[in-house]
Amino acid sequence: MAFFMDPGAMFLGCLGPSEQKFLVTLIETAAKSGYTRFVEPCAGTFAMANLAVQNGFRPEQIETSDVNMMSTVLGYAITGQSLEPLEIHAQGFSDEELLDPATALYAQLYLRTSKNAGNDYFYQILTDLRLRREEHIESINRQIEVIKNLLGGMSYRPLDMWEHLKEVLDDPHALVIANPPTYFSGYEKFYDTQGKMTWKEPPYELFDPETGHQQFYDLCMDAKALVICYQEKRAGEAVGYTIYARSGTRADLNAYITTNREVEATALANGKKIKRPAESKLQPLDCSMLPRDYVIREDSRVQVIPIKSAEAQYYRELWTHNFVGSSATFNRALLIDGYVAGVFGISKMAADSVFVWYVMKVPHKTYRLGRLCYMLAQNRDFVDTLLDNIEQEKVTKMRTAMLTRYPENKEVRGIMKLVNRVEDKKNGYKLTYEAELVEGRTEQQTLQEWLRRENEWQKNRAKASSKSKDAK
């Protein structure tokens, strides 16, 4: 029994023929549309790199990474790197033998098969592997040569997917196709040798599909790179913008291909070359901005209205010195007594939640208007206007994420709960917040509750300031 049944099998991964056919057109059109960097984290057996090199990308434009040993040995063989730094050790094999990629791959196959040798089927395979050892190693060598001829010139590193993504997401010329594990600890279980084979594996975070895809798109949704991700989920639970779906991959799961930019990815998948859109012409609404000293009362009229992307961008650029054009499915404006007081963007991104992508507000001397935007977005009556009947049954939460220098964001304190904090080398912290939707609260009631909290905050702030002065 060969290491792989045939050289082509090395590239199959878990994607079916229809998924691969869909991606072939997308990749080919992307290569013709100005994408010059192809990135495959979680490379596995380099299925996507293989599609890329056969459909318009040159090997030197392709960069790959993974954290499992098989992919790393194969990646090092393709890129001509010595295996010595990997410090591979295996029971029954000398360290010198394991410097040969084919022998190292054979050793892993043999040792992971041996753990099931009590089963007659695996015992027969193990016997064949032992008796025809040299034939199997030679077969693996031939397959490595096939892959080297296809992908020679690409780059490979043993690297965690999250670290690789952080390096490439700011590149508008990068096409990223990720195929993370479809079940928790999948790679670890598949390649387990029960400690009979070890290597200097890189540090990495286990990917849990239950939460990992949301974490993935929290990171990637605003990226300049075009990001594609394969998932297996129950109906209605895919995360990101779905551009392809196929039913019945296993049990009650379906195959989904999702993206951070729906319109662009769909156009590429349909064979349409894309030209990056020019910045939208910014335009204000036909009403004035809330004055910086405007007094908001309990009987002030509050409204949340739909606005165009260009209108949202106008105010976002006006109110911040560090404007980043993150996209949202729905853009909304907050009006108070007919004045524009803030804008926010929201999308339906996971089965159980909506996601607030940005909140921008008028600079005001007294009030924290961003908190009012979050509270209005949290109302069940508002969220239901964004969803169909089936989605309304499933969505129970609002989520948001932000990069900040501080370990907490005070703007959402008391409104949302911090559920994840990750240190970010560049920005300080990546914070994820979550809150249950509020049932039965009207816009006017929200305004009144917000005003009560703001007045209480102002009083406490004044007391603290007074105590500070007295102490001096």
Question: pLDDT value at position 470?
Answer: 64
- pLDDT exceeding 90 applies to what percent of the chain? 65
Q: Which of 127-136, 341-350, 363-372 has the lowest mean pLDDT?
A: 341-350
Predicted confidence (pLDDT) per residue in 422-434, tens digit: 887 777 888 999 9
Q: Taking 50 as the threshold, does the pLDDT of residue 100 lie above it? A: yes
Sorting pLDDT into bands at 50, 70 and 90, what band is 185?
low
Cα–Cα distance for residue pair 2/393, rounded to 1 Å? 50
Six token digits for residue 448 = 């009144």
CATH class of the 7-269 domain in this structure: alpha beta
302-471 carries CATH number 3.40.50.10800: no
Residue 190 structure tokens? 């598949």
Bridge partner residues of 422 (DSSP)? 430
Predicted local confidence at residue 280, as pLDDT: 53
Give how far Cα 469 sits from Cα of 121, 344, 424, 456, 472, Å: 81, 38, 37, 20, 5
What local confidence, expressed as pLDDT, does residue 411 receive?
Answer: 87
Domain boundaries, the chain: 7-269, 302-471
Task: Compute the distance between CA of residue 331 and CA of residue 373 in angstroms, rounded to an integer.
Answer: 12
Q: Categorize the per-residue pLDDT at 352 as very low, low, confident or very high, splitting at 50, 70 and 90.
A: confident
DSSP 94-108: -TTGGGSHHHHHHHH
Q: Encode pLDDT of 364-374 as tens digits.
A: 999 999 999 99
In 10 A of CB 146, how many CB atoms? 15
CA distance 446 to 302: 9
Beta strand pairing status for 37-40 and 62-66?
Answer: parallel
Share of the chain residues as helix, strand and coil, in percent rounded to the nearest 5: 40, 25, 35
70 touches 158 (CB < 8 A):
no
144: which residues sit within 8 A by CB, 6+ positions away?
Answer: 74, 77, 78, 101, 102
Q: List pLDDT tens digits, range 165-181.
A: 999 998 999 999 999 98
pLDDT for 13 beyond 60: no
Rounded to whole angstroms, the Cα distance separating 365 from 363 reads: 7
Confidence of residue 276 (pLDDT cuts 50, 70, 90): low
Q: Are 398 and 416 in contact (CB under 8 A)?
A: yes
Tokens of 120: 């007659």
pLDDT at 9: 40
Q: Is the pLDDT of residue 321 over 70?
A: no
CB atoms within 10 A of CB 464: 10
> In this structure, are residues 370 and 414 in contact, taking their beta carbons and an 8 Å threshold?
no
| pTM of the shown model | 0.69
